[in-house]
Chains A and B, each alone.
Chain A
């Protein structure tokens, strides 16, 4: 909870360090080329892995011949799926949070069956990657083809081939929920706005691919794993797969070249390397190449269709939302239903909608498994909300901006309880909208749009008003499972802080940092708490074996969690120092006051009687005989900060409880021009107002918002992972998976609002995913507005030039047909 120590650091409007522009600690090594990414790590005798992968989307593995490969120069081990199954159980996935665990085992290597094109079948460890690839090319695998389930429709067809034999109908989960008076609302609505929408697979495609090094130590029984995982959580589950005590696994972090969710849960490569290390007695490294990362990386984002309805009153009030969502998870269920559960934290958006009902069906197919891509499905959820809002405006003949304004949750309604039980902590949505309208200068763009139309040019103005939910509780992982044995709610984050003999401060994070300046965030907050120079705070990262509870940077949680954990540790350090200072000043601890500006304790009312932090630290470390009774030598504190506010879901499913209440908000208004000859979309302007509560690192926030928007632009215009009917991914590298370049992106003009959270330390909220969750909806809104003279509806992403030209051609055909019919 956001408590303050009275008389200590007071969380007032003007901070010494929070909110100030600063150069990051991390950037120093990166501009010198001294980043230590996974691929930069080398161990003596290290072997390298190359994989043999199934060329078929669905096939039985009949026979594997590794004879020639095993004898090739430099080859130390060859591991088939059958051999792997003897050394390791399946990977731990969130399918195990279901009771009973869902029968979709995910093996490190395909054993009797390959279930997606690109699934690893054999792993080779050799003295170089080239030699390993040479050997892999000599391995022959005999397959027996099985029918391919290439999408959800095929998966659900009666009599369809099963992707997993024990999963009937290829259905992982179906659930139906009604929150609030859904049927009643829809029965009485003046109008029901309907849309069928779909969201294509995409992925983070960080330049740094996933990699790991495993070193199995038979003597000590330890397994050491270096990896660019963005969380230690996966490392804690390895022991259960490998049959060793979990605490014998030591996961060591490194610099991470971006992740966007892909590096949250990567059991397969780690298990493969662990087994190969055990077989060879050497450290074994695997790094995805670009094709492996896109095709086989177990990292794809949401892939779904929505049949959606918005119940609207004649006056434009949004009364209820209901939808049917079918999610294609691919061939495994790594993260459970989180890509559907988590976005429902903001399932009614920023609108005061009182009824929410939905049916969810999750299926398996012969595609690469889904995991997480920036937003955990939130981009698609916001797309649904905003397409319906635009559609409602169109059908009611209302202005899109004003219709949204009418429905925004008012400022006096917070904390606001949504129909499914989650809460929005605070917000000023109408203010954000007003700011954004002013920033973009809507009137001027409307005029230009009209002028352009007269010249036959298509300019469009888009709008999206979206929530940026952040900081989920543990229940997000299993809330859609009716039965879950543990019903684990904890989602803490830990930090250790120490003041050394000289009064210098070190902070140890218990989770990795994935490329946002978390070390600098931790240093900044510690500096705020103790009054030291942020650049003098040293920050390191503990390995998984000694780390305490933590999930790491995911789901926009880390700044909030670090703020709480660092503050908690700082408070404990101050209390330790207070007792020592009291001895030094021959006063009672209650008579002392912490002066953060000078990093010292002083006697209340008598500031000339004081002791500095450095003096206290020296005493605490060296003068054991002079320390107060019960105080140990040193100054150190470890603090595990729990989720600031969460409640349990109701077992009967009637409420999901409060599981993600820290809610930011943003308004995106892009202006685009669509070239109707080529289908190309160019940006004329992009205005965004975002609110993530109190800002710790303003340049970092700006970078996150802009970076997220640009990924959102990619989602809207060019990024697509399409498997076709044969289950073969078409987009296998950057020549066909188009991520935005400098020439593809708008100049983004940002306005800024800070509505603090009542629940978090300093009132901070999460920001990491927001831009990517809102931009696609806004950009599609703009394109649809540009194409409105042709009455074109956009119901899917990406809106590629080909797609635009097809839609224009269809519209012109329809027009022509109409003319002929009239005649």
Chain B
């Protein structure tokens, strides 16, 4: 068993895990962080995407011990990590209906945030390319693309006076 100390959504946590415990299992089972989901455990579906020091990673393909001393951000910590893009992305997904069951949404939002950090006004093809590692079985993707586009537009407008949730 190994002791691992990491920061998750701004909170320092110390957990005791086996070597073989994946990061996603460490987050979910040991820390009780359920804002990241497991879809395949093989790194294909992207549901387990988290930000590791702001870089999107498949937490099902990482071991918890590899996260020692690192900063992990799930969608629950997105607003705190990125007070500008985070809320706008989340509200845009709601308004443009970029989700149905919500299971892929945490991973989608984090990958989308990374995209918008790199490309402020991505076109349709760029968005599709960036998100092609995040599977969704419900939406058929179109409204997800539109949500990211809406977020990009809002950010470009410097929308400071947006509504926070309902």
B54 within 8 A of A: no
Instruction: Decide if A710 touches B141 in the complex (CB within 8 Å).
Output: yes
- Interfacial residues of chain A within 206-243, with CB under 8 A of chain B in the complex: 206-208
Closest to A771 in B: B140
- Interfacial residues of chain A within 746-769, with CB under 8 A of chain B in the complex: 747-748
A709 within 8 A of B: yes
Closest to A39 in B: B38
Closest to B35 in A: A33
A711 within 8 A of B: yes
On chain A, the number of residues with a Cβ less than 8 Å from chain B's Cβ atoms is 57
- Tell me how far the C-beta of B9 lies from the nearest C-beta in chain A, rounded to whole angstroms: 9
Instruction: Decide if A515 touches B35 in the complex (CB within 8 Å).
Output: no
Instruction: Decide if B140 touches A27 in the complex (CB within 8 Å).
Output: no
B149 within 8 A of A: no
Separation of A242 and B44 alpha carbons in the complex (Å): 38
Instruction: Decide if B76 touches A32 in the complex (CB within 8 Å).
Output: yes
Instruction: Decide if A206 touches B101 in the complex (CB within 8 Å).
Output: yes
Closest to B147 in A: A31
Knowing A739-B135, A742-B131, the reply to whether A517 touches B41 (Cβ < 8 A) is: no
Instruction: Decide if A31 touches B101 in the complex (CB within 8 Å).
Output: no
A516 partner residues in chain B, CB cutoff 8 A? 100-101
A707 partner residues in chain B, CB cutoff 8 A? 100, 137-140
- Among A86-94, A250-258, A345-353, A556-564, which stretch is in contact with chain B? A250-258
A130 within 8 A of B: yes
Knowing A23-B166, A255-B102, the reply to whether A290 touches B140 (Cβ < 8 A) is: no
Knowing A32-B75, A742-B128, the reply to whether A733 touches B42 (Cβ < 8 A) is: yes
Instruction: Decide if A515 touches B140 in the complex (CB within 8 Å).
Output: no
Closest to B21 in A: A130
Separation of A206 and B136 alpha carbons in the complex (Å): 8
Instruction: Decide if A258 touches B39 in the complex (CB within 8 Å).
Output: no
Question: A-side binding surface: helix, strand, loop or mixed?
Answer: loop
Instruction: Decide if B137 touches A207 in the complex (CB within 8 Å).
Output: yes
B32 partner residues in chain A, CB cutoff 8 A? 42
- Among A264-272, A413-421, A617-625, A696-704, which stretch is in contact with chain B? A696-704
Neighbour of A256 across the interface among B74, B101, B141, CB < 8 A:
B101
A706 within 8 A of B: yes
Instruction: Decide if B143 touches A699 in the complex (CB within 8 Å).
Output: yes
Neighbour of B35 across the interface among A28, A32, A709, A735, CB < 8 A:
A32
B70 within 8 A of A: no
B145 within 8 A of A: yes
- Interfacial residues of chain A within 674-723, with CB under 8 A of chain B in the complex: 699-700, 702-703, 706-711
A36 partner residues in chain B, CB cutoff 8 A? 34
Best-surrounded residue of A36, A208, A256, A771 (most CB of chain B within 10 A) = A208
B129 within 8 A of A: yes
Instruction: Mark A183-204 against chain B: 1 for CB-CB distance below 8 A, else 0.
Output: 0000000000000000000001
Separation of A514 and B97 alpha carbons in the complex (Å): 16
- Tell me how far the C-beta of B62 lies from the nearest C-beta in chain A, rounded to whole angstroms: 16
Instruction: Decide if B109 touches A31 in the complex (CB within 8 Å).
Output: yes
Instruction: Decide if B103 touches A257 in the complex (CB within 8 Å).
Output: yes
B45 within 8 A of A: yes
B142 within 8 A of A: yes
Instruction: Decide if B34 touches A706 in the complex (CB within 8 Å).
Output: no
A246 within 8 A of B: no
Instruction: Mark B25-64 against chain A: 1 for CB-CB distance below 8 A, else 0.
Output: 0001100101111111110110100000000000000000
A15 within 8 A of B: no
B95 within 8 A of A: yes
Knowing A34-B35, A703-B143, the reply to whether A734 touches B40 (Cβ < 8 A) is: yes
Instruction: Decide if A734 touches B140 in the complex (CB within 8 Å).
Output: no
A37 partner residues in chain B, CB cutoff 8 A? 34, 37, 103
Instruction: Decide if A27 touches B102 in the complex (CB within 8 Å).
Output: yes
B23 within 8 A of A: no
Separation of A743 and B133 alpha carbons in the complex (Å): 10
Instruction: Mark A570-581 against chain B: 1 for CB-CB distance below 8 A, else 0.
Output: 000000000000
Instruction: Decide if B45 touches A33 in the complex (CB within 8 Å).
Output: no
Separation of A394 and B141 alpha carbons in the complex (Å): 35
Closest to A712 in B: B140
Closest to B32 in A: A42
Instruction: Decide if A31 touches B128 in the complex (CB within 8 Å).
Output: no
Knowing A27-B93, A206-B103, A734-B44, the reply to whether A33 touches B140 (Cβ < 8 A) is: no
Separation of A104 and B119 alpha carbons in the complex (Å): 58
Knowing A208-B101, A255-B102, A700-B97, the reply to whether A290 touches B128 (Cβ < 8 A) is: no
- Tell me how far the C-beta of B15 lies from the nearest C-beta in chain A, rounded to whole angstroms: 14
Separation of A792 and B141 alpha carbons in the complex (Å): 32
Knowing A23-B95, A130-B18, the reply to whether A33 touches B74 (Cβ < 8 A) is: yes
A747 partner residues in chain B, CB cutoff 8 A? 124, 142
Neighbour of A207 across the interface among B47, B75, B143, B166, CB < 8 A:
B47
Place the interface of chain B in its size category.
35 or more
- Tell me how far the C-beta of A625 lies from the nearest C-beta in chain B, rounded to whole angstroms: 39
Knowing A706-B139, A742-B128, the reply to whether A28 touches B166 (Cβ < 8 A) is: yes
Separation of A708 and B142 alpha carbons in the complex (Å): 12
Separation of A707 and B137 alpha carbons in the complex (Å): 7
B99 within 8 A of A: yes
Instruction: Decide if A34 touches B135 in the complex (CB within 8 Å).
Output: no
Closest to A744 in B: B132
Knowing A24-B94, A27-B99, A535-B166, the reply to whether A258 touches B137 (Cβ < 8 A) is: yes
B158 within 8 A of A: no
Neighbour of A258 across the interface among B93, B101, B124, B132, CB < 8 A:
B101
A584 within 8 A of B: no
Instruction: Decide if A207 touches B44 in the complex (CB within 8 Å).
Output: no
- Tell me how far the C-beta of B70 lies from the nearest C-beta in chain A, rounded to whole angstroms: 19
A206 partner residues in chain B, CB cutoff 8 A? 101, 103, 137-138
Separation of A745 and B128 alpha carbons in the complex (Å): 10
Instruction: Decide if B100 touches A743 in the complex (CB within 8 Å).
Output: no
Best-surrounded residue of A29, A35, A206 (most CB of chain B within 10 A) = A35
Instruction: Decide if A734 touches B105 in the complex (CB within 8 Å).
Output: no
Instruction: Decide if A709 touches B140 in the complex (CB within 8 Å).
Output: yes
Separation of A397 and B139 alpha carbons in the complex (Å): 39
Neighbour of A290 across the interface among B39, B93, B165, CB < 8 A:
B39
Instruction: Decide if A207 touches B39 in the complex (CB within 8 Å).
Output: yes
Neighbour of A702 across the interface among B91, B128, B143, CB < 8 A:
B143
Knowing A33-B35, A207-B45, A515-B101, the reply to whether A733 touches B140 (Cβ < 8 A) is: no
Closest to B127 in A: A742
Instruction: Decide if B138 touches A258 in the complex (CB within 8 Å).
Output: yes
Separation of A42 and B143 alpha carbons in the complex (Å): 33
Closest to B125 in A: A743
Instruction: Decide if A33 touches B101 in the complex (CB within 8 Å).
Output: no
Instruction: Decide if B101 touches A706 in the complex (CB within 8 Å).
Output: no
Separation of A773 and B91 alpha carbons in the complex (Å): 32
B150 within 8 A of A: no
Instruction: Decide if A699 touches B103 in the complex (CB within 8 Å).
Output: no
B134 partner residues in chain A, CB cutoff 8 A? 742
B38 partner residues in chain A, CB cutoff 8 A? 39
B138 partner residues in chain A, CB cutoff 8 A? 206, 258, 515, 703, 707
B99 partner residues in chain A, CB cutoff 8 A? 27, 30-31
B143 partner residues in chain A, CB cutoff 8 A? 699, 702-703, 706
Neighbour of A130 across the interface among B20, B28, B100, CB < 8 A:
B20
A260 within 8 A of B: yes
Separation of A742 and B29 alpha carbons in the complex (Å): 31
Separation of A771 and B138 alpha carbons in the complex (Å): 12
A130 partner residues in chain B, CB cutoff 8 A? 18, 20-21
Instruction: Decide if B105 touches A31 in the complex (CB within 8 Å).
Output: yes
Separation of A706 and B139 alpha carbons in the complex (Å): 6
Instruction: Decide if A706 touches B103 in the complex (CB within 8 Å).
Output: no
Closest to A704 in B: B100
- Tell me how far the C-beta of A623 lies from the nearest C-beta in chain B, rounded to whole angstroms: 33
- Tell me how far the C-beta of A20 lies from the nearest C-beta in chain B, rounded to whole angstroms: 13
Instruction: Decide if B105 touches A30 in the complex (CB within 8 Å).
Output: yes
Can you list 5 contacts pairing A with B, beta carbon distance less than 8 Å? Answer: A29-B102, A33-B36, A33-B105, A706-B139, A711-B137
Q: A27-B93, A517-B100 are in contact. List 18 more A-B contacts (CB 8 A).
A: A23-B95, A30-B99, A32-B75, A33-B36, A33-B76, A42-B32, A128-B29, A130-B18, A206-B138, A258-B100, A703-B140, A711-B140, A734-B42, A735-B44, A739-B137, A742-B134, A743-B129, A743-B132
